[in-house]
A and B are shown apart, each in its own frame.
Chain A
Amino acid sequence: MSAARALQGPRLRRVALRQPYAFALVLLAVAVGINFYLQPNFFQPGLLSGNLLLFLPLMLVAVGQTVVVIGGGIDLSLGAVVSLSSVVTVVLMGNGEPSTGSIAVAVLAGFGAGVAAGALNGFCVAVLRFQPIVTTFATSFVFSGLALYVLPEPGGAMPLGLQNFYYSSPLGLPMVLWAAVAVLVAWALVRSARYGTYLYATGGRDLSAYQSGVPVSRVRFVSYCIAGLMAALGGLALALSTGTGNPIGGAAFTLQSIVAVVLGGTRLSGGQGGVLGTIIGVIILSLIQSIVSFSPAPSSWQTLINGLIVVAALAGPGLFALTRHRRAA
């Protein structure tokens, strides 16, 4: 029996190492269980997809953050990019019901703003080699300022048709599921392309990657552009879900996206992890939120409980390793 255990230990660890989101799956199961206990009608499809749809903007932003983090960077400006791209889209929509052409222009302009913002970050971090944390913090001021310039006060309206589409369920499946599948397919393509290999190599150890001929600067630059685009998609989703534009509407996404990335098993040191884990991380965050709001605790305690559960979830893998360590010693 002890031999079986000795064999099992390393194998478990190997699995855990190969599947960085193994722990995220455990958390997911626990969170689903608690939700089901608190709300017996939790699995009712309408309710479930409604809850998740609230987290679609965060999911898109967190996926972009994942790409940057895998490449060895971090982006503290993504929340501001969400705000900027969403207000650009809302303002270009104008008043009343715009034509299809002007809707397309408005949406594309929002994406363009996101990619341009990502490109500025990428240029500073990858080409000029500034420190990612402080650089993207600095650019976040620039993007917030631009968002305020474009739309000084919350307002404007997204076309109703587009909003209805956002809340619709094509082929009976909710929009959030379509988005998740689309993102995963896109990620699978990126991951299997040469760029994917380069991205992991760059994040793992940029000097070695550089010496083996990986165009490190270009790879990192593109990772920030991808994050900018994903933030713009998140901004579009945010504008559609609220129906209006808000120049500071994206502020909370920056730090939440990083929490989601880490919950999903991607390490901030780079070179490891993946988008599926991050999507699981976002779902976990949404489940924690619904646990807290359905728990019998008074409302003034909700933020504290939410914070404590998030910290406990972050501490999980470490606690797991700690107990294993004790047993081994």
Chain B
Amino acid sequence: MRFLRPNPIIIALVLSLILFVVGGIVQPGFASYGQAMNILRLAAFLGIVAAGQTLVIISGGEGIDLSVGALITLGAILVFRIGAGDNGTALLALAVALGVGLLIGALNGLGITALGIPPLVMTLGMAGVVQGLILVITGGRVEGDAAPWLTGLVSGSLVFGIPGVVFLWLLLGAGMWLLLRRTAYGRRLFAVGVNRATARLSGVRVPLVVVLTYALSGMLAALGGVVLLGYTEQVFLNLGNPYTLPSVAAVVVGGTLLAGGVGSYFGTMAGALLLTLLTSLLTALELPESARLIVYGVTLLLLLSLYGRQKALRQ
């Protein structure tokens, strides 16, 4: 197994391919072009949300963002309400949603850096607050509409039947690569993730980097919600919840270390693709829900056994 370790991205992609082929053999129609595009589209939602999660986890310090699910819902609801199906106001709504996501993420970062609250509980507490905000905004009932350009982007196809959201995802991938590998922020983020003390001594303003990272995560989660709205065209109050922990799993399966300081977004993209394929295959097999959950859990455990292990105590 050790020789497999160096490149989790390749493992995830190879496993994705195997799942796809197996799916095609077991369930005719699963490996069709249309179904592949649909899976890519679903993977894009998870991938966009997991982009922020990747940044947060790279920043280390037990970094994790459990507020992404609630922020997805909030982002979708804001666009749904403010945009109200009109192309003109939808841009304004998009700006509001991203701004609110950025702000709430920044509050997460401030709680973590200035008040010393552990990221897990800070973002968990924030998820509760955002859930409350959603109830206050909607009063329990959601009225509004998805803008035509949004549904067009997500559900319609641009070229060769590839949905626009997949291009958006690829664009985000390129942007994330630039951000992580070619900007001062990216270098500082890795420095902070490896060792906060040495980063601080080298002149990195650690709190600033951390706050910015959580803010970006909040914004990307809200973006994920907006895009998801283009797919569902409806909003329900727990729309984003099923994405919270899978976004963490996608990051880890993609080879980013939970300890921080090591990772890449390409890995996360591969992880999101693999997890989405797994879910889609289990759905396509029409297994009862109990079996689907068990198989998903066991597969996740097996994936973790490949490259999610910590160093042995005996050295």
Contacts and interface: CB of A to CB of B under 8 A. Distances in A.
Nearest to A124: B301
Interface string A196-231: 000000000011001000001100000000000000
Nearest to B139: A300
A318 interface: yes
Interface residues of B, number: 52
Contacts of A143: 297
A314 B121 contact: yes
Interface stretch (A24-32, A41-49, A95-103, A262-270): A262-270
A152 B312 CA distance: 40
Nearest to A305: B132
A147 B109 CA distance: 37
B68 to A, nearest CB: 14
A128 to B, nearest CB: 7
A152 B310 CA distance: 36
B135 A300 contact: yes
Contacts of A317: 116
B305 A315 contact: no
Contacts of B262: none
Interface string B40-76: 0000000000000000000000101010000000000
B294 A152 contact: no
Nearest to A151: B290
B305 A319 contact: no
Interface in B300-315: 300-301, 304-305, 308-314
Interface residues of A, number: 54
Contacts of B301: 124, 130, 135, 138-139, 142
B254 to A, nearest CB: 12
Contact of A134 (B252, B289, B290, B298): B252
Contacts of B1: none
B131 A307 contact: yes
A129 to B, nearest CB: 5
Contact of B125 (A135, A142, A259, A321): A259
28 contacts: A74-B120, A128-B305, A129-B310, A130-B305, A131-B252, A134-B258, A139-B301, A141-B296, A141-B300, A145-B292, A148-B289, A206-B313, A255-B66, A259-B124, A267-B118, A269-B62, A269-B118, A300-B136, A306-B132, A307-B131, A310-B125, A311-B125, A311-B126, A314-B111, A318-B114, A318-B116, A319-B115, A321-B116
Interface of B: 62, 64, 66, 111, 114-118, 120-122, 124-126, 128-133, 135-136, 139-140, 245, 248-249, 252, 258, 288-298, 300-301, 304-305, 308-314
Shortest beta-carbon contacts, A-B, top 10? A304-B132, A318-B115, A141-B297, A145-B293, A307-B128, A145-B294, A142-B297, A138-B300, A307-B129, A303-B132
